[in-house]
Chain A
């Protein structure tokens, strides 16, 4: 079954006897590869406007029909060549009963997502380490400074840290004379 318009759209060619001849020739080619150089006969019948038809293959010397399995194997082997002869693909040139062998999926050794994950994780960990180091350095510097200014610490600061700060009494500060 051929779906020419679906495959080619504007560039679709018209299906006529010439094309049919090409089909028979291509199939004969596929069978020849099976039988080593002996050309068999391809008989076509029941053509429809859909562009679908039945075909049978006969042995080269006598008129007996070739087995379906043999034909299937031949078609499978040369599927690519048959498809490209008609500028079609596995889905637009269908052989009913012969499912296409699908291509093996590409499986890279490291899945891609793991790579991106590694990049992002590395960046974030680097960020954390940087921040931690910076704050450690800052803290050390401050400790060195405060060791020198311990005398400067006023009593007021100490009191504010030890007590609980009640908001409601904050207005009273204005009544205390400023030093």
Chain B
């Protein structure tokens, strides 16, 4: 094999699995269920699927076509289309770099939780005991053990983004491991990536399926699923619903980073990307819906358990305050007894009235969470109540790892491929160059393992990539449709696939998708201006709760 020849995927299946592994990531698991719940449950599927056809599939197909046609990474591909547009590719590379910096920290957390699952009692199940051995640690007592484990033991979080503590050595070790594994996966470019994606793309589905079976057999799971899927159609009148659906489709498919261009550039010239684009987009959305089913079964389980625990505590309170026989008040009759006792012994009841909690299943279900809170706090809380929690914990965190690493593969490839097209980098061996990139990202990523690391992570996650990606993809689609020309693009595709794209694709590329992207961009800018200074949620150590702080940045 001469040095100049471009490596290829061993077969089209590898490419397909690589795209699936890249697109199906953590966002499918922790963002979509939240959106579904916020915007009316089953009804949200309507705007979601509509946006999939209006912008998701066309833009995905577009990026794949460019990559396969130009056979270069994003910088080279855009420069080949027009020398003035190299910046588009460069923007993609820089955004991918940002993502690589902070995304692997999630994998580090997953590793941390995974390794801590190999104990007889899960460390987030109970509060650790304080030094006097009189009771649980105070901070843990005011919050829940799962929150304590995440904020204190995993992150050792400070109160605000300005207070940078020390590097958490456990976290740093896990981050090192995450990068070492990433390096192993990309060490020989797509030759190694191609083999890895067989596993990273398929195993999460195995785990999701197992969790589905486990989830629906859990006590109270049906409450969650019912709650989620009851459509609240009035939400469809809210424009935020449509905007969120469009944004979710856009980011979920991973457009604009250049990863798709990079992956497709290693394809055989005649690879049928039209079919693959449709399949991957459908699988991506299908996985979101599937994952939200599982998530809501778990939610329902957790909410029901919390509700029943609350009732149990109330029952004990009543028994102890009024010295009733143990079996007189059962869990089902707690509310009746409250009524009865309130009327018969009003003074005595007043004494305990402030200790009485309001046990409400609806409000438990209403605690919709997204993001790392869902993945690491809510899910681990649900897992600790399951029988044989270590097994479920290990399975779950391996799934999170595979989802995260799969997306990392795409993003790292998006950096390495375009840079390797330049003569400077191609003089070095693949292994050395990849190693340098990984080392660079590791060193910068150590900043996220400090005490304020989670806040930096939130800042990067919420504000780092969104605007750039919208602009990049908008320019991409306008370029291809109007500057390069739809006619020329059509001919290129005919050259590659043997048939022209039909009217649906052309209308989407030339009209609908750019319009939608402009709408998204405008709404993002409006939100940004109206929102004032960016805010982030901080762990307040005195109140032991999460509150919003305005960022000084």
Contact = CB atoms under 8 A, between A and B. Distances in A.
A104 B133 contact: yes
B474 interface: no
Contact of A99 (B134, B176, B320): B134
Contacts of A102: 129, 133-135
Nearest to A167: B69
Interface in B107-131: 111-112, 114-116, 118-119, 128-129
Nearest to B180: A124
A105 B325 CA distance: 35
B187 A117 contact: no
B115 A116 contact: yes
A44 interface: no
Contacts of A157: 2
Contacts of B183: 128
B531 interface: no
B118 A112 contact: yes
A6 B329 CA distance: 12
B133 to A, nearest CB: 5
Interface stretch (A16-24, A49-57, A66-74): A49-57
The number of chain A residues touching the other chain, given as a range, is 20 to 34
B118 A113 contact: yes
A124 B401 CA distance: 15
A50 B115 contact: no
B507 interface: no
A1 B320 CA distance: 9
A157 B2 CA distance: 9
Interface string A150-161: 000000010011
Interface string B175-195: 011001101100110001000
Contact of B135 (A99, A116, A127, A131): A99
B134 A132 contact: no
Contacts of B336: none
B431 A132 contact: yes
A61 B115 CA distance: 61
Nearest to B115: A113
Interface string B319-359: 11001111110000000000000000000000000000000
B2 A5 contact: no
Nearest to A131: B187
Interface in A122-162: 124-125, 127-128, 131-132, 135, 139, 157, 160-161
B245 interface: no
A87 interface: no
B173 interface: yes
Nearest to A113: B115
Contacts of A105: 128-129
B4 A161 contact: yes
B327 A5 contact: yes
A128 B187 contact: yes
Contact of B188 (A1, A104, A135): A135
Nearest to A104: B133
Given A101-B133, A117-B115, A117-B177, A127 B325 contact: no
A131 B184 contact: yes
B70 interface: yes
B268 to A, nearest CB: 14
Given A50-B320, A117-B174, A128 B184 contact: yes
A113 B171 CA distance: 12
Nearest to A105: B129
A3 interface: yes
Contacts of B129: 102, 104-105
B2 A161 contact: yes
Contact of A131 (B4, B112, B192, B328): B192
Interface in B173-221: 173-174, 176-177, 180-181, 183-184, 187-188, 192
Contact of B180 (A6, A128, A132): A128
Given A113-B115, A131-B184, A50 B326 contact: yes
B321 to A, nearest CB: 10
B70 A167 contact: yes
A161 B423 CA distance: 12
Contacts of B177: 117, 120-121, 124
Interface in A81-113: 99, 101-102, 104-105, 112-113
B325 A49 contact: yes
Contacts of A5: 326-327
A124 to B, nearest CB: 5
Given A105-B129, A112-B119, A116-B118, A124 B187 contact: no
A4 interface: yes
Contacts of A161: 2-4
B184 A127 contact: yes
B329 to A, nearest CB: 10
Nearest to B328: A49
Nearest to A53: B323
Contacts of B2: 157, 161
A112 to B, nearest CB: 5
Contacts of B326: 3-6, 50-51
A3 B316 CA distance: 10
Among A4, A104, A117, A120, the most chain B Cβ lie within 10 Å of the Cβ of A117
Among A104, A112, A114, A160, the most chain B Cβ lie within 10 Å of the Cβ of A112
A117 B129 CA distance: 25
A145 to B, nearest CB: 12
Nearest to A46: B323
Interface in A25-65: 48-52
Contacts of A125: 180
A179 to B, nearest CB: 19
Contacts of A99: 134-135
Contacts of A135: 188, 431
Nearest to B183: A128
B188 A48 contact: no
Contacts of B180: 121, 124-125, 128
Contacts of A3: 326
A8 to B, nearest CB: 11
Contacts of B112: 113
12 contacts: A3-B326, A49-B328, A102-B133, A112-B115, A116-B118, A117-B173, A117-B174, A120-B115, A121-B173, A121-B180, A124-B181, A157-B2
Given A5-B326, A113-B170, A139-B429, 17 more contacts: A1-B320, A50-B320, A51-B325, A99-B134, A101-B133, A102-B134, A104-B129, A112-B115, A113-B112, A113-B115, A117-B111, A117-B177, A124-B181, A131-B184, A131-B187, A135-B431, A167-B70
Report, nearest first, the 4 A-B pairs whose CB atoms are least far apart: A113-B115, A48-B323, A49-B325, A50-B323
